[in-house]
Amino acid sequence: MAMLSSLSTLLPLLLFYALAVAPGLRLQQDLEKDLAHLTGDSRYFISDNSTQTPSVQTVANDLQLFRLAADLDLSNAAHSSQSRGEHRVDIWRFEEGEIKSIYQIESNILLDTVITQRYLDNRTPTQQHITNNFTFRSYAVSTADAPLKLYYLTEAEQGLLAYRLGEKQVEINYAAKKEGLTDVIEGYKKEVAQLLREAETKL
């Protein structure tokens, strides 16, 4: 009887834990966090290939398209997930509607490297040991008329780094850049692009 009582006490806790760790789309939370970060900090440069006068407002307007994906009812989607090295890939596929698939790639990357700083005035080069942790999340949305039409990249501490809407590409460069970000970001983008291409070909 005591064991049954203990189990009846544990089951609600186990159910709560299972729901808490169940995979979910985190795009809405990242959109809100990143936009709040941009609104509260003016120390960054926005690069936008569609306009010479980008601003927080143009970014906010663009992010409305991502909100459409973030607000979708995922109960109508077929969900799958897998781990690939440092990356966890979650995919939601839809049978009906304009949006056909949503991809979420969360990556935990540890940087531990030594860089050599060289100087223009012929001073002796110096070396710097850099260690840091990065939590990246990349999102991509495929529509009925275009694969991987939308793309969004954020880092947990740094914030929004880049997004793409069709041919429109936007990048955010921060004055207070997280140490080591420059050393990992290009390699990370290439890995994610490969993961997305592989996932899209399995449709």
Task: Tell me the pLDDT of the chain averaged across its residues.
Answer: 87
Q: What is the pLDDT of residue 6?
A: 43
Half-sphere exposure of 8 (CA within 13 A, CB side): 5
Give a yes or no: residue 62 inside a domain.
yes
Residues 6+ apart with CB under 8 A from 141: 66, 69, 99, 101, 102, 103, 148, 149, 150, 151
Does pLDDT of 45 surpass 80? yes
CA distances from 79 to 24, 34, 104, 118 (A): 10, 26, 11, 49
Give a yes or no: residue 56 inside a domain.
yes
State the total domains in the chain.
1
Lowest mean pLDDT among 12-26, 61-75, 79-93, 148-162: 12-26
Give a yes or no: residue 16 inside a domain.
no
30-56: average pLDDT: 94
Q: pTM for the complete prediction? A: 0.83
Tens-digit pLDDT profile for residues 73-125: 999 899 999 999 999 999 999 999 999 999 999 999 999 888 777 777 778 88
Give a yes or no: residue 118 inside a domain.
yes
Give a yes or no: residue 188 inside a domain.
yes
Angle at Cα 165 formed by Cα 46 and Cα 198, nearest 5°?
A: 115
Q: Are 185 and 174 in contact (CB under 8 A)?
A: no
Give a yes or no: residue 5 inside a domain.
no
Range of the domain at 150: 25-201
- The band of 203, judged by pLDDT with boundaries at 50, 70 and 90, is low
Give a yes or no: residue 12 inside a domain.
no
Give a yes or no: residue 2 inside a domain.
no
